[in-house]
Amino acid sequence: MQRSSATADGKRVFLTGASSGIGLATARALIECGCQVWGTSRQIARLPTGLENFHPIALDLTDEGSILTGFSKAQSEAGGRFDVLINNAGGGWFGPALQMPTSDLREQFQTLVFGPLALIQLALPAMRAASPPRGLVINITSLAAKLPLPYAAAYSAAKAALSSFSATLRMEEADVTAAGAIRFVDVQPGDICTDFNRALHMPDALRDPAAVVADPAIAAAQRTLHVSNHDVDTGPSPDFIAQHLCRIVQAANPPVVLACGTFYQATLGSLAVRFLPARWLERSIRQHFASR
């Protein structure tokens, strides 16, 4: 794959969730602009093979031992430090919040919050020790962090938590190293055309969208899932987000927060969060998911 002359040339990137969707597209795009990418998956066999400058790493964000072992192995291969950490891996549980098993709730936060924070804690010491200190952490959160999705309560809450952590870390790091030496970027995609919805964990009653159910919460979740599937299937491709991430990696002064997706979601949705009263915003979201 031919390299460009972009400023990302030669950067060492640690990328979680690199086996499919946004992660795989990002790995390919970063390699094209000259980066070395250490990409992770719980199942290493799912990672691409024969891709120049791609280094497969087995890592399970629900297993603290796997996080430490996988990152340590990758960082050693990278010469002791990464220039960029991209927390991308994720997954979701869909269904009425009151029916969500506690074990699934804990796993959701482990994957989307505690796992990424553990990787940040592992990556930052070497970034700080560089001469001069430098590094970039990109947390892939979601527009759901500020536009909560009905029947995806844990996912929305976990993404909001990681988004808030990103802002806090950015302020704290400015007190430790020179302001801007280590940057934290919160990337908030909307619906992207991936297999994310097909991999959702959900109650068995939701797996058949044509099933007639007596539970009104499940019936409402069915309608919401139908609209959500349409939004995902008609959303931008993963390459759209991958190109945004490449530009952030190349930028001398990247944005601190970037909402990206369709005009309706990323632009109008962000404006709605800023200007609509909470009651109106929630009503608008509910009306959207009842629109089809």
CA–CA gap between residue 292 and residue 71 (Å, rounded): 44
Look at residue 102 in the predicted model and tell me its pLDDT: 95
pLDDT tens digit sequence for 47-69: 999 899 999 999 999 999 999 99
* Domain of 52, in residue numbers: 12-289
Q: Which of 11, 146, 151, 155 is catalytic?
A: 155
Domain-located, residue 275:
yes
* Owner of token pair 């109008």: 268
Domain-located, residue 3:
no
Tokens of 155: 């996912």
Q: What is the mean pLDDT of the chain?
A: 93
Domain-located, residue 5:
no
* Owner of token pair 């969500």: 100
pTM comes to: 0.94
Domain-located, residue 1:
no
Give me the phi and psi of 83, to 5 degrees please.
-80, -30
Look at residue 27 in the predicted model and tell me its pLDDT: 98
With a cut of 90, say whether residue 280 has pLDDT above it: yes
Q: Which of 11, 146, 151, 159 is catalytic?
A: 159
Domain-located, residue 99:
yes
Is 264 catalytic? The answer is no
Domain-located, residue 220:
yes
CATH number reported for the structural domain that contains residue 250 in this entry: 3.40.50.720
With a cut of 80, say whether residue 1 has pLDDT above it: no
With a cut of 80, say whether residue 5 has pLDDT above it: no
Please count the structural domains in the chain.
1
Domain-located, residue 4:
no
The angle, 0 to 180 degrees and rounded to 10, between the axes of the packed helices 102-109 and 153-176 is: 30
With a cut of 80, say whether residue 209 has pLDDT above it: no
With a cut of 50, say whether residue 17 has pLDDT above it: yes
Is 11 catalytic? The answer is no
* Owner of token pair 């990556």: 123
* Owner of token pair 């093979």: 49
Average pLDDT over residues 118-131: 96
Domain-located, residue 171:
yes
Cis check: omega of the bond before 48, within 30 degrees of 0 = no
Do residues 96 and 218 touch, judged by C-beta distance below 8 A?
yes
With a cut of 90, say whether residue 238 has pLDDT above it: yes
